[in-house]
Structure 1
């Protein structure tokens, strides 16, 4: 697929910027689409696009004019600009409308590009403690956000048909690594420890959860493989469940900030799943030739020093 053109929708986001970089590093042309431009996209053709308001025919015309062979949907109604606390109805409409618009646009084209959609492990809902969730597990999402993400994933998977390349839906574990979204837990960690360095004493609420964290650059590698191969529904995770309190302890090691410089309080934290998440990634290895490479320790180190 070297030299092909890939449109990345949500290119200004945390995951999107790394997807653009990974595609370019593999010799693919990148067309960046987002609501507004950003400095790190200066090397790519850019088009302002909002999937919640653009008409499918207009999006189809843009994809046709750019001669793209794959489209990556890296948008998410809960993001750095809008945050995690938008009204449920707004989140639901944004996620589902984005997927439906994209599918309708692709179906307008005589030579449709492959669709690669980024979903989330939250679509499975609460997982049994100590287990690894597989793609054939029933999805029982909790809350409007996770339910809307499931609908979006199912919409993309249903786009397969005659003349349409097999789509791919990558259900991502919790993402970690450089340039985190401020709305994410890694973003909160980075912000809290920078405040501690500045002489403040921020407070962090720490749940007793164990979560699967995958580095954003490993995610980007998986997206490149999915653009090339399809793959259907595939889990993308880091390979182990890490206690939230251990994430904080590793940030102490990475930053050199004294452990007591950040006040840690115990308590439940709002989320979309249960207290445990861990992805079985054997399908990703089999279908995409992908495995996670970057451990959470290096991910946090690189995040801090980026």
Structure 2
């Protein structure tokens, strides 16, 4: 809501930038284009929910509820998507993603079953396991038995308070020490928000982000700014594309033959992570609590 208000206020009182003045030379897109796109996409989604209900597994009223929820809470993200012309990219990526997912499910044997796959296989579906575990925690078991008075992790609730008070503490430190400009660079919502990716991200992922980000967004930006302006975001796209390409290459070259890869970083180095923590349960290779 704050983003919407700020954009509305700046559109009335802010100075037009060069891009806005240049775009005024072109005719604006008719509003009915957006209306037709919205209507067609909603009707197609509704059709999938009714015709392919066994595959989609979402009732028609669930789609309407999700659309209303998105309209209420994710409208700022939609504004960013609309103003950056990402509709075509979204259509292409959505089609390719679904096609690749169906191809992998039909071609990779024992996909998502870690105990039946070769060692360190990339096809363990960590993101899907996170959603499955979340559905068990919040649906089947219930948060009271995990994060509530009956749970083992009730102390984690203190982090709600830490997250709320933390930015206020940083703001107070800026006022008390105005000459310490580095304090203003601390952005707790960004730092703490990154932990939302863990799981499935591991400590190796975070260490890689920190190393690459520090080198290119601090040292290169500070001492080689011309290079940074020209190549930094190209490098970021290349790293993402290279990771995806190498994942597919390693699968076809090694994992299809049942040969796993074991090097530093491919293991979480936490052999007790899958051990039961309830009192009295006995499992081979695990301690008894």
Q: Do both proteins adopt the same fold according to a TM-score greater than 0.5, normalized to the shorter chain?
A: no
Larger radius of gyration: 2
**TM-score bin (small chain):** under 0.3
The structure with the greater share of residues assigned to helix is 2
TM value normalised by structure 1: 0.19
Using CA pairs under 8 Å that are at least 6 residues apart, name the structure with larger relative contact order, 1 or 2. Answer: 1
Higher share in strand:
1
User: What is the TM-score with the length of structure 2 in the denominator?
Assistant: 0.19
